[in-house]
Amino acid sequence: MLVPCFLYSLQNRKPSLYGSLTCQGIGLDGTPEVTASEGFIVNEINKKSIHISCPKESASSKFLAPYTTFSRIHTKSITCLDISSGGGLGVSSSTDGTMKIWQASNGELRRVLEGHVFDVNCCRFFPSGLVVLSGGMDAQLKIWSAEDASCVVTFKGHKGGILDTAIVDRGRNVVSGSRDGTARLWDCGRSACLGVLADCGSSINGVAVGAADNSINLGTPEQMPSEREVGTEAKMLLLAREDKKLQCLGLQSRQPVFLFIGSDAFNCCTFLSGFLLLAGTQDGNIYQLDVRSPGAPVQVIHRSGAPVLSLLSFRDGFIASQGDGSCFIVQQDLDYVTELTGADCDPVYKVATWEKQIYTCCRDGLVRRYQLSDL
């Protein structure tokens, strides 16, 4: 059996490297016996992974198959998922109109969370792992008990669908970003909006909250913060906007830190540290920026023109997923990439991790779990 092989070289937009792999048969232990075309080397292979390198170009990729695939959680595309802090539960939302809690080890259904009207766009666990935050096209933000599926809080105030959320510290406050162009801060204890953090006149596709390095000037609040604001001090808020702008402001001060203009609409964003961040665009660019000097990117990673749909800090690097089905782990050394296979050409919408396990959700309606113990 002959299959194509291509390695992405991410640094400085080097071109992809193309070759082929030939399966000569299956060994006695069930491991495929594979040879590579000229210039490529099969460094390591087992039942779940294959490591290919191109020494001449100093490029290397490990292709990892799912350890388990859950096909019975939803019947249609899965748009978002998260894993609880203890690793025991998963939560996911789907275009089949449902949001469900399931056992992370085997995909067994535990709870169905019903109450949103129309699609649920985002869902995530609070740090406790016992409570879920969700946002939907009905412009409502809801908090749910993972134990009995009851909706304990509903926030109303947005005039458009909620596209992303972030939890501040332990979760007494949460942040939402909406199609109405606003980002809002909410008080979970009193089910109230503490303020509009930003009103940018453009859909906010992604939000992220991160602790700021001491060297970053976050500005001073114009008014004394409410006593109901908990954990907002020394935090940055990042907004990925539809109008090609990436906006950063002080979470407590509401003062601007920077505004960066990208190549296309920003879909997602995340913090890597107290001063480094990532943001992904609709045309396939992943920008790495330093908040201390955001005028020019530290680097721009571009693998394909497919939309970057999710970004997640992981170990000493990050995980990214795109609309062409690719999902990959980039280590600190950009010449080594781990490819998470299985989605083929279906978009991978979201990625979540727990210890050495990675979970992805996809347009094909599957949740895939990858085991990284051998990396």
Return per-residue pLDDT of the chain as tens, 375 residues: 444 555 555 544 567 778 888 988 888 887 888 888 888 899 889 888 898 888 888 788 899 999 999 999 999 999 999 999 999 999 999 988 889 999 999 999 999 999 999 899 999 999 999 999 999 999 999 999 999 999 999 999 999 999 999 999 999 999 999 999 999 999 999 999 999 999 999 999 999 999 999 999 999 999 999 999 999 999 999 999 999 999 999 999 999 999 999 999 999 999 999 999 999 999 999 999 999 999 999 999 999 999 999 999 998 899 999 999 999 999 875 557 899 999 999 999 999 999 999 999 999 999 999 998 644
Q: What is the pLDDT of residue 12?
A: 46
* pTM flag (> 0.85): yes
Phi, psi torsion values for 235, nearest 5 degrees: -115, 145
Question: Rounded CA gap, 255 and 239, in Å?
Answer: 13
Residue 341: other Cβ atoms inside 10 A: 18
Question: Rounded CA gap, 226 and 269, in Å?
Answer: 27
- Length, in residues, of the chain: 375
Question: Rounded CA gap, 115 and 98, in Å?
Answer: 9
Q: Are 368 and 342 contacting, i.e. CB atoms less than 8 angstroms apart?
A: yes
CA separation (Å) from 304 to 284, 336, 348?
Answer: 6, 17, 14
What are the counts of helices (DSSP H) followed by strands (DSSP E) for the chain? 0, 34
Q: What is the pLDDT of residue 113?
A: 96
Question: Rounded CA gap, 193 and 199, in Å?
Answer: 14
Q: What is the pLDDT of residue 205?
A: 98
CA separation (Å) from 364 to 78, 122, 172, 349, 360?
Answer: 8, 18, 35, 10, 11
Residue 266: other Cβ atoms inside 10 A: 30
Domains of the chain are 2-64 (no CATH), 69-371 (2.130.10.10)
Q: What is the pLDDT of residue 2?
A: 45
Q: Are 369 and 359 contacting, i.e. CB atoms less than 8 angstroms apart?
A: yes
Q: Are 307 and 281 contacting, i.e. CB atoms less than 8 angstroms apart?
A: yes
Question: Rounded CA gap, 103 and 80, in Å?
Answer: 16
3-state secondary structure of 56: helix
DSSP 370: E
The dihedral sign for the CA sequence 69, 72, 74, 75: positive
